[in-house]
Amino acid sequence: MTSTDPGAVAAPDVPPADVAAVVASNELVADSFSEYLSAQWKRIRSGESGTLPVVVGLIIIVAIFQAKNSRFDSTGNLTNLIEQSGVFILLGMAEVFVLLLGEIDLSTGFVGAVGAAITAELNAPPHNVNWFLAVLAGLAACAAIGLIQGLLITRLGLPSFVVTLAGLLGWGGFLLYLIQHDKQATGGSIVINSSVLNDIVNGSLSNTAGWIVILIAVAAFAATSLLRHRRRQANGLVTAPLSLLVLKVAGVAAAGIVLVLVCNANRGGALVHLSGVPWVVPLLAVVLVVYSVLLGRMRFGRYVYAIGGNAEAARRAGIRTNRVRLLSFVLCSFTAGLAIILVYFSELGSISSDFDGGNYVLYAVAAAVIGGTSLFGGRGKMSFAVLGGIVIATIYNGMALIAIGAAGQEMVIAIVLLAAVTVDAVAHRGISRR
């Protein structure tokens, strides 16, 4: 294969030791579909398992819950599951920004909740600020908190663990203060006032709109994939086999169709007809695309990975590492704001002093790590957080269905988090031993 592979420089006298080097880039060394599969298999055996364990784990989890309670795969519960995943997915994405650097942010839950309290307060009487401006104010507050914490971490060189642990306590206290001093708060909670905010999770696209949106999304994915493929081919670079591209597009299309079918089924019962894709799904999709482009196709993202891989090398390459790190902490807090202000707040209809920001941070880290983002920095993707968030939500949803109490649920989540971190550590050891 080496001889026909135009990406590798022609190899007349290859010492055997070099050929044995593990091929970790999967698609670009394969000329045909079967070669892709074998390269993928090599990767899995060498410890870089990618998303495979998560997908397999998810299937097993779903099978267990389905066996215990046949309502698990009812369309109503699956839609419910999608809505529940939203918070975990967004919090997981927030965590990815800092985990990639090899840092951590323990404050995301309460930071987002502070933003949500500000939004709720502004949006309710007597202020009656327009919902959009109220959300902007909440998100700006979150970003500002991220800026403060990020400055402490990058300028003073404090460990992110300690700074954000202080944030976990401090912003939790600030949330209580905000709610106690709000005249609208009843019983320790501020209720949602805007129907738009309420509809993010509880409202749905019409059935037709759902189909149109998924059609446009799949078409856009297919077009960009094909354009990239063409451009690489036109420049004589190695391309992944076309069959693989077709298969990927088909997979995305199938997933989209199943999603719309599930959401478009009537989940309201005989009296009230309720169907359609919840607004939170397109919201998540937009955030995923924007963040994936930011991390995968822009300088900022490249530098985040570089700093996570070797901070000294990044510094010597002339990258302003402190600026990149600071922006990552701001983006992390901002995304936490998206999670709590737009999704959690909408799902519960209120933000209350009972909000458990500590638990949510653990779910966030778990979602990111279960998806395959490394705690050691430098490895991970935004899309991984989607998978991880779905796993967390599935376990949560399923355990509630089969009537496991809070005590059992928290212990199970803890074990899942530990298992994911163990897999991460073992894979990391495998890579650095090479």
Cβ 35 to another protein shortest distance, Å: 12
Closer residue to another protein in complex, CB, 14/223: 14
Cβ 253 to another protein shortest distance, Å: 25
3-state secondary structure of 331: helix
Cβ 384 to another protein shortest distance, Å: 14
Cβ 377 to another protein shortest distance, Å: 8
- Count how many residues are written for the chain: 434
Phi–psi pair at 350, nearest 5 degrees? -165, 165
Phi–psi pair at 191, nearest 5 degrees? -90, 150
Q: How far apart are CA 282 and CA 276, in angstroms?
A: 12
CA angle, residues 369, 370, 375, in degrees to nearest 5: 20
Q: How far apart are CA 342 and CA 202, in angstroms?
A: 12
DSSP 209-272: HHHHHHHHHHHHHHHHHHHHHHHHHHTT-----HHHHHHHHHHHHHHHHHHHHHHHS--STTTS
What is the SS3 assignment for 109-177?
A: HHHHHHHHHHHHHHHCCCCCCCHHHHHHHHHHHHHHHHHHHHHHHHHCCCCHHHHHHHHHHHHHHHHHH
160, 178 in Cβ contact below 8 A? no
Cβ 382 to another protein shortest distance, Å: 16
Cβ 317 to another protein shortest distance, Å: 3
Closer residue to another protein in complex, CB, 18/270: 18
Cβ 236 to another protein shortest distance, Å: 8
- Structure tokens of 7? 């990406």
Closer residue to another protein in complex, CB, 12/126: 12
358, 168 in Cβ contact below 8 A? yes
Query: Which burial class, exposed, middle or buried, applies to 61 when counting CB atoms under 10 A from its CB (0-12, 13-18, 19+)?
Result: middle
Cβ 161 to another protein shortest distance, Å: 22
Closer residue to another protein in complex, CB, 227/411: 227
Q: Which residues bind another protein (CB under 8 A)?
A: 2, 5, 7-15, 17-19, 21-25, 28-29, 231-232, 235-238, 293, 297-299, 302-303, 305-306, 308-310, 312-314, 316-319, 378-379, 431-432, 434
Q: Between 242-264 and 75-99, two packed helices, what is the crossing angle to 10 degrees?
A: 130
Cβ 425 to another protein shortest distance, Å: 16
Closer residue to another protein in complex, CB, 21/272: 21
Closer residue to another protein in complex, CB, 15/125: 15
Cβ 375 to another protein shortest distance, Å: 14
Closer residue to another protein in complex, CB, 101/413: 101
Residue labelled with tokens 């989540």: 413
Closer residue to another protein in complex, CB, 15/126: 15
Closer residue to another protein in complex, CB, 63/237: 237
Closer residue to another protein in complex, CB, 232/248: 232
Classify the phi-psi angles of 157: left when phi > 0, otherwise alpha if psi is within -120 to 50, otherwise beta: left
3-state secondary structure of 189: strand
